[in-house]
Amino acid sequence: AASFGMAAVVTGAAVFVENAEQHLMIPFLKTLRSIGGGFSVTETGIEFFYNEPLKGGVVLETDVHPGFLTDWQQPFAVLLSQAEGSSVIHETVHENRLGYLRGLQKMGANCELFYQCLSSKACRYATGNFPHSAIIHGVTPLKASQLVIPDLRAGFAYVMA
C-alpha cells in the first residue's frame, strides 16, 4: 500500500488501496503527512493523492515494526528528491541498503552517502564499511537512465523516478 501511495503522490495522481490497514502504517502516514503528501483513511482502505508541493527537512530512520519500515525507505527517497529542502535517511535495519541511491544519482537525484550515523542515535552500523546514511537535496528533476535493479524496492523506486 505504501509503495503505491508514494507513486501516486510523487506523480500527482491518486490511488485507492483497498484493505490497507492504517494501524500498520502509522509511522509511514505521519512521515508522509509531514512532507505534504495527502491521504484519506476510510473503512475500506486508504486513498493516497498529491496534496501540495512536498517539503523536505525530515530525518527518516528505518526500524522494525512498529517503526518506519526499511521497505518504505527506497520509494520514500524518491519523494524526498522531489521535496523542497534537504532530508536525512538513516538505514538501521539492513546493511548496504542505500546502494540504490547511486542509481537515483545517475537519474539526476542530488544525494550524498555517508558512513556515519546521521540521526540522533548511533546504530549497529556506526563502524561499518558501507554507507548507511544519506542526505537527499530536493527538488531535482529526474531523467530516465539505464540501471541495474539491486532489489525489488529499489526497482520500484526507479520506476517511480
The pTM (predicted TM-score) of the whole model is 0.94
pLDDT at 121 over 90: no
Between 70-81 and 152-160, two packed helices, what is the crossing angle to 10 degrees?
A: 20
CB 62 within 8 A of CB 91: yes
Total structural domains in the chain?
1
Whether residue 122 is predicted with pLDDT greater than 90 in this model: the reply is no
* CA-based nearest residue to 101, from 129, 71, 69, 136: 136
> For position 84, which CATH number holds?
3.65.10.10
Please tell me the distance from the alpha carbon of residue 26 to that of residue 38, in angstroms, as a whole number. Answer: 14
- State the first-to-last Cα distance of the chain, in angstroms, to the nearest integer: 18
Q: What percent of the chain has pLDDT over 70?
A: 100
Residue 154 C-alpha cell reads as 529499489
Residues of the domain holding 58: 2-160
Residue 89: strand, helix, or coil: strand
| DSSP structure string for 49-95 | E--S--B---EEEEESTTSEEHHHHHHHHHHHHTSBEEEEEE--SST
